[in-house]
Amino acid sequence: MKFSERIYGLCKKIPKGKVSTYREVSHKLGTKAYRAVGNALNKNLHKSVPCHRVIDSKGHLHGFALGIRKKAEMLRREGIEIKNNKIDLKKYLYRF
C-alpha cells in the first residue's frame, strides 16, 4: 500500500467534530515524516478523505487543496470552533 493511501486510511478514522495533527498521523504510521503527511494531504482531492480534519500540532490550519477558508468552513460545519485560525486541541484532538 502506498504511503499516501495509508495516510488517507487514517484520516477516514477521524470522526466528525474532531481533528488530528500531522504529527499524530505520522506517529501512527511509524514515521516522523510530518511534512510528507502534509504534502500528501494537500494534494488529495477525494471528497471521501476528510483531510480537512488534520492540522498542525499547535492547532493552526495549514495547506488544503481547496484553500484554508474552505478548510475552516468545513470544520465549523462539523461543530469545531476556530479562533484566530486556531483550534483548541484539548477540546477537539482525536488520538488514534
Q: What is the pLDDT of residues 39-61, one digit of tens each?
A: 999 888 788 999 999 999 999 99
The pLDDT, as a whole number, for residue 42 is 87
Are residues 63 and 41 in contact, defined by beta-carbon separation less than 8 angstroms? yes
CATH of the domain at 56: 1.10.10.10
11 a catalytic residue: no
Q: In which domain, by residue range, is 23 found? A: 3-92
Distance CA 14, CA 62 (A): 17
Q: How many domains does the chain have?
A: 1
Q: 2 is written with which cell numbers?
A: 502506498
Beta-ladder partners of 3? none
Q: Which entry of 19, 25, 51, 82 is annotated as an active-site residue?
A: 51
Q: What is the pTM of this model?
A: 0.93
Degrees, nearest 5: CA angle 49-57-4:
35
